[in-house]
Amino acid sequence: MTPLDERKRSILKAVVDDYIETAEPIGSKQLVSRHALAVSPATVRNEMSDLEQLGYLEQPHTSAGRVPSDKGYREYVDSLMSVDPLSPEEETLIRERLDVHFDELGEALRSASSVLSATTGYTSVAMTPRLRTSQLKQIKMLMIEPGRAVVVVVLAAGIVKDRVVRIPELLDAATLAKVSAAVEEGLSGMKLEDITLIAVTAAGRRAKLPEALLNQILYEAYISIKQADSMSVYMDGTNRMLGYPEFQEIRKARGFLDALHEEGLIAGYLAEDNPDGEDTDGHRRPYMIRIGQEISLGGLDGCSFVTTTCRDAGTLLGSIGVIGPKRMDYSKVVSHIGFVRRTLDEGMRNLMDGNRNTEETR
Amino acid sequence: MTPLDERKRSILKAVVDDYIETAEPIGSKQLVSRHALAVSPATVRNEMSDLEQLGYLEQPHTSAGRVPSDKGYREYVDSLMSVDPLSPEEETLIRERLDVHFDELGEALRSASSVLSATTGYTSVAMTPRLRTSQLKQIKMLMIEPGRAVVVVVLAAGIVKDRVVRIPELLDAATLAKVSAAVEEGLSGMKLEDITLIAVTAAGRRAKLPEALLNQILYEAYISIKQADSMSVYMDGTNRMLGYPEFQEIRKARGFLDALHEEGLIAGYLAEDNPDGEDTDGHRRPYMIRIGQEISLGGLDGCSFVTTTCRDAGTLLGSIGVIGPKRMDYSKVVSHIGFVRRTLDEGMRNLMDGNRNTEETR
DNA sequence: CTTTAGCACTCCGAGGCATTGAGTGCTAAC
DNA sequence: GTTAGCACTCAATGCCTCGGAGTGCTAAAG
């Protein structure tokens, strides 16, 4: 476990860089000429052979070039690659396409995902967080017609969800409003995770209605509140992936797309993003990178997954990520996802601040 | 343009049937043996040659079997295929998976799409209609926090849409409620297409507030109403298609998937479904089939598209469709889509009836 | 006049084979 | 420690052959 010497490091970096670009196994001769190295192919061969021994490179078959192993990529992203900041043009381009939809969390994340996918050329995902610890701010039940109502739940985080429900036919609008007000008064300010059916019932009972009528409404209110806690996943650029050589075989492509649509899989990975930006191997940075085997499941095994989270003063507001072939341009992805995250953070901070003070950051 | 004689018809049907099953060009000898025909291969060859002359079949190359042309498929769906009703088991299966979500139009259509895709094995789409002629029933503006509000729009068709908007910071909840009530009172009952910004402003002015404050709110209200008229498209089973031989080449697969995601393309086709079930060639049935060239655009040219619409007493409530290779099992698709449509219609009728009478069709 | 058997012809696709080229590991010289 | 030289490996490519499934045509049979 001695660290790699400088020359091995630079050769490994060169191999990964080239492989990222060409997707072809890299040979010693080619490497020397492309990078104008000061050593001969034979030397490079020896070094590459060492790197293979150490587990950083692999050979598809004897007498082919070398390809980075998962460990090789890991070393690359952890200590070899250079992450350049975006150019001002790129920054303004992204900002323009992003700051349209800052009024609603879901919209903001959706467009973040779309921008990320477009600018990196890979598949991108975004997810609203679970909001267990967020406070309920308002709950309104509006009559649509006899027997049906819409329940609107507003959370402190500024999230709004609605849901159409059945209610007893003989309930009129005024009564419903009274129940709605009672529930809101009783629950407003509570954390979602603390709201139980009992709490809802207790709050609603103040409206002084026959139990029979009440129960159904309160139950629906309860469900609506619980449902506001559900997360949504957005995805973009899924079929951009079909353009990359690693997905030329339809089987691979199918496996990848199926995995993406698999219920909860992506959400699971996004949710696991460590709050402290602690990486699997103990490194510490504002994003998390999973490579190949590290996302072991199903069709994603030829892929890597870069994720990060948006926060406002500690509370999680959303997760975004980019999925690409293991051979993705990590440097580009990291800089782009970082910038999108910061822009999003900023936009949301303004949004959230809007609550307390009037007109400031503008 | 003389109609095909009986033998030609049955041979054409046999060819299409076989090709649907095998995806391989059909030869004369094979056809005879598989269908135990009473004539010799040579006769079949002559007939097939005629059918090719007439444009119903084509040859990928000399000395290969025949493949149906678009015209051949057209004849097949128009007058050759037999559509068998679903078995009771299939019916109950579909019913079970369908009738969970009848409270909300979007949910119903989404699950219809999912069921259709699962049972047919092809890609399925569904779309909520444009609602220009639907009446506005309610519009409520609820304060979330200073500077932000949620607008909830309820249409007579039972559709609910919400939207988060910015409002002037110094507006308080009570005032907003007043404006909201004024707007609702002024516009309720109007058709969406008749609601103009002028109408909204006129309605809102009754709230007697300073113009400056009012204008922004009313504009947002107007936008929210207009937006309620937007349609949503649901899709399911898109990558099921990658399993079929016609999409083994990644280029085709990519083309197909890109076409599906192309903004408005599918929506356009779904919207074109003729209200009277009048088919392109004047036939009359409760569904519409487009074959190959008939959906000329982009990546869909190897595909067929079967669509139908759900209605309640004449008003359009949604469109559903199945997209598959031209070589799809039309009979199966037609029977499935028909049953789903009827089930959906029924569910919605109950939903709509819920408005007027109390508890009946159950 | 229709059907069919027979036959020559076409063409795709699979398998075999040699060739090429990029790459490797090893050894010996620098 | 580095590098030139060399023998070796292996995938990819092109070429050839061959078999099979299919066709169209012609002539005989029904």
CA A362/CA B10 separation, integer angstroms: 75
Q: Yes or no: say if A323 and A304 are a contact pair by the CB < 8 Å rule.
A: yes
Q: For A88-129+232-356, which CATH superfamily applies?
A: GAF domain (3.30.450.40)
Look up residue A276 and give its amino acid. Answer: D
pLDDT at B278 > cutoff 60:
no
Q: For A136-228, which CATH superfamily applies?
A: Enolase-like, N-terminal domain (3.30.390.10)
Question: Residue A313 — pLDDT band, cuts 50, 70, 90?
Answer: confident
Q: Do A158 and B166 touch (CB under 8 A)?
A: no
The winner for highest mean pLDDT among A291-295, A310-314, B294-298 is A291-295
Burial class (CB in 10 A: 0-12, 13-18, 19+), B113: buried
Question: Residue B284 — pLDDT band, cuts 50, 70, 90?
Answer: low
More confident residue, B198 or A229: B198
Q: What is the pLDDT of residues B223-270, one digit of tens each?
A: 999 988 888 999 999 999 999 999 998 999 999 999 999 988 999 999
CA B45 to each of CA A185, B10, B17, B19, B54: distance values in angstroms, whole numbers, following the listed order? 82, 14, 17, 16, 14
List Cβ neighbours of B317 (8 Å cut-off, separation of 6 or more): B105, B129, B157, B309, B310, B311, B348
The nearest CA of chain B is from the CA of A36 a distance in Å of 37
pLDDT at residue A100 in the model: 67
pLDDT at residue A358 in the model: 35
pLDDT at A208 > cutoff 90:
no
pLDDT at residue A206 in the model: 87
Q: For B88-129+231-356, which CATH superfamily applies?
A: GAF domain (3.30.450.40)
CA A49/CA A65 separation, integer angstroms: 11
pLDDT at residue A360 in the model: 36
Q: What is the pLDDT of residues A50-60, one digit of tens each?
A: 999 999 999 99
Q: What is the pLDDT of residues A82-128, one digit of tens each?
A: 999 999 999 999 999 987 667 788 889 999 999 999 999 999 999 99
Indicate where chain A has its CATH 1.10.10.10 domain(s).
6-80
pLDDT at residue A258 in the model: 94
pLDDT at residue A357 in the model: 40
More confident residue, A129 or B156: A129
pLDDT at residue B164 in the model: 87
Find the length of chain B. Answer: 362
List Cβ neighbours of B124 (8 Å cut-off, separation of 6 or more): B113, B114, B116, B117, B235, B236, B237, B320, B321, B322, B323
In this complex, the answer to whether residue B97 has its CB under 7 A from any atom of chain D, a nucleic strand, is: no
Query: What number of CA atoms fall less than 13 Å from residue B105's CA on the CB side?
Result: 27
Indicate where chain A has its CATH 3.30.390.10 domain(s).
136-228
- Report percent pLDDT > 90 for chain B: 62
pLDDT at residue B283 in the model: 52
Q: Do A152 and B162 touch (CB under 8 A)?
A: yes
Q: Which residues of B touch A (CB under 8 A)?
A: 103-104, 137-138, 140, 142, 144-148, 150, 152, 154, 158, 160, 162-166, 169-170, 238-239, 242-243, 247-250, 253-254, 257-258, 261, 354-355, 358-359
CA B307/CA B341 separation, integer angstroms: 10
Residue of B nearest to A170 (CA): B358
- C1' (D28) to CA (B76) span, angstroms: 36
CA B253/CA B237 separation, integer angstroms: 13
Q: What is the pLDDT of residues A224-278, one digit of tens each?
A: 999 988 889 999 999 999 999 999 989 999 999 999 999 889 999 998 876 554 5
Which residue from B158, B139, B137, B159 is spatially nearest to B150, judged by alpha carbons? B139
**Coil, strand or helix: which one is A124?**
strand
pLDDT at A212 > cutoff 90:
no
pLDDT at residue A293 in the model: 87
The tokens for B47 are 């007939």
The tokens for A315 are 């509370």
Burial class (CB in 10 A: 0-12, 13-18, 19+), B41: middle
Return the residue matching tokens 């003063």. Answer: A313
Q: Do A158 and B148 touch (CB under 8 A)?
A: yes
More confident residue, B164 or B306: B306
CA A356/CA A269 separation, integer angstroms: 34
Query: Which nucleotide is closest, CA of B24 to its C1'?
Result: D21
pLDDT at residue A160 in the model: 84
User: Rounded mean pLDDT of chain A?
Assistant: 88
**Coil, strand or helix: which one is A181?**
helix
Q: Yes or no: say if A126 and A320 are a contact pair by the CB < 8 Å rule.
A: yes
pLDDT at residue A362 in the model: 31
CA B112/CA B234 separation, integer angstroms: 10
pLDDT (average), residues A134-158: 87
At a 7 A CB cut-off, the residues bordering strand C are A 25-30, 41-42, 45, 48-49, 52, 59, 62-66; B 38-40, 42-43, 46, 61-64
pLDDT at residue B60 in the model: 92
Q: Do B253 and A258 touch (CB under 8 A)?
A: no
More confident residue, B1 or A194: A194
Q: What is the pLDDT of residues B156-176, one digit of tens each?
A: 777 888 888 889 988 888 999
Q: What is the pLDDT of residues B129-157, one digit of tens each?
A: 888 888 899 999 988 888 888 899 988 77
Residue of B nearest to A137 (CA): B144
Q: What is the CATH number of domain B6-80?
A: 1.10.10.10
Q: What is the pLDDT of residues B332-351, one digit of tens each?
A: 999 999 999 999 988 887 76
- Report percent pLDDT > 70 for chain A: 92
Indicate where chain A has its CATH 3.30.450.40 domain(s).
88-129+232-356
pLDDT at residue B275 in the model: 55
Which residue from B312, B323, B284, B294 is spatially nearest to B116, judged by alpha carbons? B323
User: Rounded mean pLDDT of chain B?
Assistant: 88
